[in-house]
């Protein structure tokens, strides 16, 4: 049997990026032989094994044939006579279909190296259309490497969209790929790549809808809401590594996509609609609770951040309480990072400091410094403790804001 390094590890090595996990393909072997050599079988749907020592993944060379729609519709054929070239031909993109032999030589039947040089994402064969996950993968690679999608591949994806192939995507996979896309340095490229092929409307209709919707034109006639949200997302990626913050930035203005004409151009009430649309997006993708809950708070209260100096102290406290920030101070930080990304996500604001940032933090710290202990010691009981605590917190927030406004 012969083994070759394949896929992402060869690609990343040629790009000079760090290699995450090594994938191997094995030609001329059988499951029985692999097991006899101590490899541990792990594949449910196809023959994949873990190396007894390195625990890296070794897959028997295989071909795949689509026989029915959906995920289970593939017939896998892995026999010792399947060649390396046949295995490479079932892969999604030319840059992912390069193999490396033990002696370091490259096997590159689809000219993946040239596409790497040209920064192009190109499908290997027309079978690309058989798996809708590939549309998400290609957009994710567009974001990760800042590559463009080849015209002929774009056309294939457009066909997939028209044939409603993307309806077969399961939510777990969409979320998985979205998380990886959000982890890139410039996640907007993922959404712009999807938009450029028409896939955005099928996969994330609530984001697609934002394009062409005027952003409050009094302030920013030059951009629409879609562009604003993309800018906010990229700013969030600069400000924080956390998926939680980045996802909240993505969702914060979703309600602007469904603003009724009579409350345009100010988008009055868009926060409540953002909450609704974020909740349904999260439900559809089964977004983890913690990520979802910050996104909902940012959708509801992001305007409050920018209007801080006009808010009553009691309202400031309400926002902080609703974040559960006294128990979980990191939630306050995440909320403010999303707010700052929103502030910076406009032309000309990218490098500015948000004036409300420090003030809001001072309010939070002043309120947090007040605890229930003295009220309990003074003999207060039951709801009276909470009442006194809130009263004092509001007083402290008022003091902070008065001091700031005077200075």
Q: Which does 228 bind (CB under 5 to 8 A by kind): ligand ATP, Mg ion, none?
A: none
Q: Which does 133 bind (CB under 5 to 8 A by kind): Mg ion, ligand ATP, none?
A: ligand ATP
SS3 at position 29: coil
In this complex, which beta carbon is closest to ligand ATP, that of residue 135 or of residue 308?
135
DSSP assignment, residue 352? Answer: P
In this complex, which beta carbon is closest to Mg ion, that of residue 8 or of residue 28?
8
CB-based contacts of 309, cutoff 8 Å, min separation 6: 356, 359, 401, 405
- Provide long-range contacts, Cβ within 8 A and 24+ apart, for 207-216: 207/250, 207/254, 207/257, 209/257, 209/258, 210/253, 210/254, 210/256, 210/257, 213/256, 213/257, 213/259, 214/264, 214/265, 215/256, 216/265, 216/266, 216/267
Minimum Å gap between C-beta 7 and ligand ATP is 3
Minimum Å gap between C-beta 8 and ligand ATP is 2
Evaluate whether 204 touches 248 at the Cβ level (below 8 Å). no
Cα–Cα distance, 394 to 315 (Å, whole number): 9
Q: Which residue is nearest to Mg ion (CB)?
A: 8
Minimum Å gap between C-beta 244 and ligand ATP is 21
Q: Which does 405 bind (CB under 5 to 8 A by kind): Mg ion, ligand ATP, none?
A: none
SS3 at position 121: strand
Site string for Mg ion, 1-20 (x = CB under 5 A): -------x------------
Kindly list the residues in this chain that would bind ligand ATP in the complex (CB under 6 A). 7-8, 20, 23, 91-92, 96-97, 131, 133-134, 137
Site string for Mg ion, 92-111 (x = CB under 5 A): --------------------
Distances (CA, A) of 329 to 198, 248, 314, 321, 332: 41, 17, 19, 11, 5
In this complex, which beta carbon is closest to ligand ATP, that of residue 94 or of residue 240?
94
Looking only at the bridges linking them, the beta strands covering 148-149 and 120-121 are parallel
Q: Which does 257 bind (CB under 5 to 8 A by kind): ligand ATP, Mg ion, none?
A: none
In this complex, which beta carbon is closest to ligand ATP, that of residue 5 or of residue 213?
5
Site membership for Mg ion, residue 56 (CB under 5 A): no
Residues contributing to the site for Mg ion (CB under 5 A): 8
């Amino acid at each position: 049997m012969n083994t070759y390094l394949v896929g992402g590890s060869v690609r990343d090595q040629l790009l000079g990026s760090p290699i995450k996990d090594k994938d191997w393909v094995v030609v001329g072997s059988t499951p029985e032989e692999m097991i006899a050599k101590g490899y541990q079988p792990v594949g449910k749907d196809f023959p994949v094994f873990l190396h007894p020592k390195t625990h890296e993944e070794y897959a028997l060379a295989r071909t795949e044939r689509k026989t029915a729609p959906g995920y289970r519709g593939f017939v896998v054929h892995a026999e010792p006579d399947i060649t390396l070239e046949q295995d490479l031909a079932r892969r999604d993109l030319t840059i992912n279909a390069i193999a490396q032999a033990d002696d370091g030589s490259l096997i590159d039947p689809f000219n993946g190296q040239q596409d790497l040089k040209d920064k192009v994402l190109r499908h290997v064969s027309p079978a690309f259309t058989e798996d809708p996950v590939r549309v998400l993968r290609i957009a994710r690679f567009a974001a990760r490497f800042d590559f463009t999608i080849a015209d002929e591949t774009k056309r294939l994806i457009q066909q997939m969209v028209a044939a409603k192939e993307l309806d077969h995507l399961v939510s777990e996979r969409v979320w998985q790929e979205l998380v990886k896309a959000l982890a890139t340095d410039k996640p907007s490229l993922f959404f712009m790549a999807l938009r450029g092929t028409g896939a955005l409307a099928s996969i994330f209709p609530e984001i697609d809808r934002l394009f062409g919707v005027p952003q409050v034109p009094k302030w920013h006639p030059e951009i629409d809401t879609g562009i604003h949200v993309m800018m906010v997302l990229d700013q969030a990626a600069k400000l924080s590594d956390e998926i939680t913050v980045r996802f909240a930035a993505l969702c914060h203005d979703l309600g602007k996509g469904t603003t009724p004409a009579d409350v345009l151009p100010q988008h009055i009430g868009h926060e409540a609609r953002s909450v609704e649309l974020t909740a349904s997006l999260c439900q559809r993708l089964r977004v983890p609770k913690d990520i979802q809950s910050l996104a909902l708070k940012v959708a509801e209260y992001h305007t409050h951040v920018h209007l801080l100096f006009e808010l009553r102290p009691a309202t400031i406290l309400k926002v902080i309480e609703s974040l559960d920030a006294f128990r979980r101070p990191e939630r306050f930080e995440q909320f403010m990072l999303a707010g700052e990304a929103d502030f910076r996500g406009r032309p000309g604001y990218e490098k500015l400091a948000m004036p409300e940032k420090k003030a809001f933090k001072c309010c939070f710290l002043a309120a947090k410094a007040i605890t229930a202990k003295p009220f309990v010691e003074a003999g207060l009981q039951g709801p009276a403790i909470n009442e006194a605590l809130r009263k004092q917190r509001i007083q402290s927030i008022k003091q902070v804001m008065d001091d700031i406004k005077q200075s």
